[in-house]
A and B are shown apart, each in its own frame.
Chain A
Amino acid sequence: MSTPDTEKTLSVRDLRVRYGEREILHGISFDVPRGETLVILGGSGSGKSTLLRTLVGLQPATSGEVWIRGQDIAKLSEEDLDETRKKIGLSFQGGALFGSMTVGENVCLPLREHTQLEESTIQIIMRLKLEQVGLAGFENYMPSQLSGGMKKRAAVARAMAMDPEILFFDEPSAGLDPIIAAGIDNLILKLKKAFRMTIIVVTHELASAFLIADSMLLINKGDIVAHGSREEMEKSTHPRVRQFLDRVPEPEVAEEMDYLQMLTGEAPPRAL
């Protein structure tokens, strides 16, 4: 196995993750070059959320390697891992804003904890970040006073507070109306252009994926089905890719006998 190219901001090598007896990811490898946007597509239960949690170090890998900025995160000490974490931002699906702090305090928190910046500078950065996500003037609101879309945007502002090199998004447009979702896509494009950020988005929204991605990764049941540029994915004839892109539902249980056995509980357990 070759040592990952340090020019790649993120490299994953034969990554396996297991919860107890169940293996969720069966050996995944891919690279993300600096400044590119990768969209990880997959249905519910495909393992894409587990992949994201592993990439940011919330879930330890069972085997395989995750390289971030030229370092294998599994081999880092807790302190070095924290140094790496300061260079990445994660925007959580539900926002995960700290409910006991105002929106502004949420954005200021990493700056106050990790930098020696003056409070006046921190305040200006916080307002800049909120302006960039379209939440100027909301710094004194509590998270509970915000709508779902606003929470997500505030979470993006917080994830960007330290000017990360890699920004991760977990389902950025899930549960948002189309206009707000488009606004978040637009923001991702602007960030990429202005800050040359490497952006990794986990989603199942196709329209959004085709708008923002440089490359795409389709995973299904813990395996990579396809990995390629936007154009390659569009032209792909791979049945799983077509099924996902053309939104074909899973085939119905084929044989009536199987169905009957399943209903009566006599069917042997399905292999995973």
Chain B
Amino acid sequence: MNIVTRQQGNSTLVDVQGDIDLYNSPEVRKIILEELKEKKVARLIVNLTGVRYIDSSGVASLVEGLKVSRSMSSRFMLYGLSPAAREVLELSRLIRVFEVYGTEQEALQAK
């Protein structure tokens, strides 16, 4: 798994590449929470285009990110969910809890 962060206008993007599982989800969590808590970014967009499989610990890490973003009153968005990732979020009734977009463009332009 590989994680890269980049700046695009007033948004910070986190590109995740590879599967997110029990062993590397702490890394995803660490980077997301760091951006939100320490760098206090206003808009954090997680790019999951390169993620085929995300397990429960990955979902839980995203939930933590969402929770922290609310307490910091910043935006937390996801895009590029694979059908499998979408199923996982649907099964846990989280698909409507997150701000989910289809493409990077949609996420960047979201009001």
Determine whether A and B are in direct contact in the complex, meaning some CB atoms lie less than 8 angstroms apart. Answer: yes
- Seen from chain A, the residues whose Cβ lies within 8 Å of a Cβ on chain B are 111, 115-118, 120-122, 124-125, 128-129, 131-132, 160-163, 190-191, 193-196
Q: Show 25 A/B contacts (Cβ-Cβ < 8 Å), sorted by A.
A: A115-B23, A115-B57, A116-B26, A117-B60, A121-B25, A121-B29, A121-B57, A121-B61, A122-B60, A124-B63, A125-B59, A128-B60, A128-B63, A129-B56, A131-B93, A160-B56, A162-B22, A163-B21, A193-B87, A193-B91, A194-B84, A194-B87, A194-B91, A195-B87, A195-B88
Distance in angstroms from B66 CB to nearest chain A CB is 10
A115-B22, A121-B60, A162-B22 known; A132 vs B91 contact (CB < 8 Å)? yes
Contact of A132 among B26, B55, B63, B92 (CB under 8 A): B92
| Alpha-carbon distance between A162 and B92 when the two chains are bound, in angstroms | 15
Is A124 touching B64 in the complex (CB atoms < 8 A)? yes
- Seen from chain B, the residues whose Cβ lies within 8 Å of a Cβ on chain A are 21-23, 25-26, 29, 55-57, 59-61, 63-64, 84, 87-88, 90-93
Contact of B57 among A117, A160, A193, A195 (CB under 8 A): A117
| Alpha-carbon distance between A129 and B92 when the two chains are bound, in angstroms | 8
Nearest-CB residue, chain A, relative to B62: A124
| Alpha-carbon distance between A122 and B26 when the two chains are bound, in angstroms | 11
Q: Which residues of B contact A129 (CB under 8 A)?
A: 56
| Alpha-carbon distance between A252 and B91 when the two chains are bound, in angstroms | 49
